[in-house]
Amino acid sequence: MQDVDLFLSLAEIAGVFVGFGALISVRSGGPSDAHEVTYIRWVVSNAIWVVAAALAPVIISRYDIAGHELWLVCSLLALVLFLGLLAVWRTTEIREIVAATPRAMIVEVASNALLMVPMIGALILVVLGLFPDQEPALYLTAVGLGLFLDALTLLFLVFSHGRPQTASDPAAMPATGGSSA
């Protein structure tokens, strides 16, 4: 199978997103708002999907499965995993976030849909076998769109926070427990 190094690189990049998500959640320490938790969960969940989808052709091809059969099995696996990810996603959390930040969420939902629809569509085209000569490219496109979806979600998380507090901001000053005498 060609593009082994490319798929391994995509898996490595997605692994970095898993690490970023874990680092953000550990760094936060205390309770976080539902908005931030949902973003982190999605970044980590989708990055794990990208890792699995990127490694699938590398691993499955080792069993002397090639051609349409390879891309069919990988695409079915990727579809089942992604649709399962969407199925277990907590829609109540998403509804709460949409209600809290409607304008920002409209942009995010629209941009996610613009990436998810062709991602799922590429996998379905492989499963249907309509373009057998393009199956490796379609599968790679789906994995790449999944990675870009993750990067965009991380970007939305970063920009969803307010402006940073400065040292001169009274709200940023730590409370002191001593008395002034």
Domain ranges of the chain: 4-160
| Overall average pLDDT of the 54-74 stretch | 94
Which pLDDT does position 79 carry in this prediction?
A: 97
Which pLDDT does position 78 carry in this prediction?
A: 97
Q: Give the rounded percent of residues in the chain with a pLDDT score beyond 90.
A: 38
Which pLDDT does position 161 carry in this prediction?
A: 61
- C-alpha triplet 11, 97, 101: angle, nearest 5°: 110
Is residue 120's pLDDT more than 80? yes
Yes or no: say if 150 and 85 are a contact pair by the CB < 8 Å rule.
no
Which pLDDT does position 163 carry in this prediction?
A: 47
- The pLDDT tens digits of the residues spanning 32-61 come to 666 677 777 888 888 899 999 999 999 999
Distance in Å from the first CA to the final CA of the chain? 76
Is residue 75's pLDDT more than 60? yes
* CA neighbours closer than 13 Å in the CB half-sphere of residue 45: 17
Highest mean pLDDT among 14-23, 67-76, 91-100: 67-76
Yes or no: say if 157 and 39 are a contact pair by the CB < 8 Å rule.
yes
Which pLDDT does position 136 carry in this prediction?
A: 95
Is residue 99's pLDDT more than 60? yes
Which pLDDT does position 123 carry in this prediction?
A: 97
The residue with tokens 């809290």 is: 100
